[in-house]
Structure 1
Amino acid sequence: MNNTALTIMCLLPILAMTNMLFNQTHFLMTLLSLEGITLSLVLFVPLILMNSSAANTAMTVILLTFGACEASLGLGLMVSMSRSCGNDMLKSLTSTKC
């Protein structure tokens, strides 16, 4: 793997976290940012473990499992929120009308 691809792989988790900090208007956008963080870590952690000669198969499967659980819980919360409040805006969670 060349240095440019390695640099991009190392910057993916940071870019995904920055995206999550600045896209907090809709609940769906926050969930997509969390998925980006999870997927970038699924790519990033085995790359780091490969350089340290550690076993990386189990860690990748664990990260993918947590990513699937996070996605299903987030989707369930979003459906519940849209049914009770009528939208997926995060600002409506703090208001008294919901």
Structure 2
Amino acid sequence: MMNFSVVFIMGSLFMIFCGLWSFISYNKHLLNSLLSLEFMMLGVFWLLSLQMASVGSEIYFSLFFLTLAACEGALGLSLLVFVVRSHDNDRFSSFSMLEC
């Protein structure tokens, strides 16, 4: 019988690799890319909080990481709103470097 911490660590690593796979393979829309990045952040947060709980050190570092992940999500959503308002969609194929 496997230890629960090993199962949780394997689950969080699986979440990180699934997020990475979806970020690489489904990159046609900006919203899909942002969702896969948030899924990877959730896996990293879960792995970080498990590691901090097992070591018994400061748990405030994981709260700081969660705050930074939330700020990253808000910045990504504001970028998505800006792109949709300026280009009328979030597809990467419609972006051009020559447009202002």
The question of whether the paired residues in 2 share the 8 Å contact of 1:13 and 1:37 is answered with: yes
Normalising by structure 1, report the TM-score.
0.82
CA distance in 2, matches of 1:60, 1:30: 24
The question of whether the paired residues in 1 share the 8 Å contact of 2:12 and 2:44 is answered with: no
- Whether 1:91 aligns to 2:56 is no
Equivalent residue runs for 1:9-20 within 5 Å: 9-20=12-23
Aligned CA RMSD, in angstroms, stands at 2.1
Could you tell me the percent identity over the aligned residues? 26
Alignment equivalent of 2:74, drawn from 72, 75, 91: 72
Alignment equivalent of 2:62, drawn from 49, 60, 63: 60
Q: What is the deviation of 1:2?
A: 6.1
Select between 6-15 and 27-36 the one with higher mean Cα deviation: 6-15
Q: What is the deviation of 1:48?
A: 2.7
CA distance in 1, matches of 2:41, 2:9: 18
CA distance in 2, matches of 1:48, 1:94: 43
CA distance in 2, matches of 1:92, 1:8: 36
Q: Check 1:48–1:2 CA distance in 2 against 1; reply closer, same or farther (3 A cut).
A: closer
The question of whether the paired residues in 1 share the 8 Å contact of 2:53 and 2:59 is answered with: no
Partner of 2:10: 7
Aligned residues: 97
Q: What is the deviation of 1:15?
A: 1.6
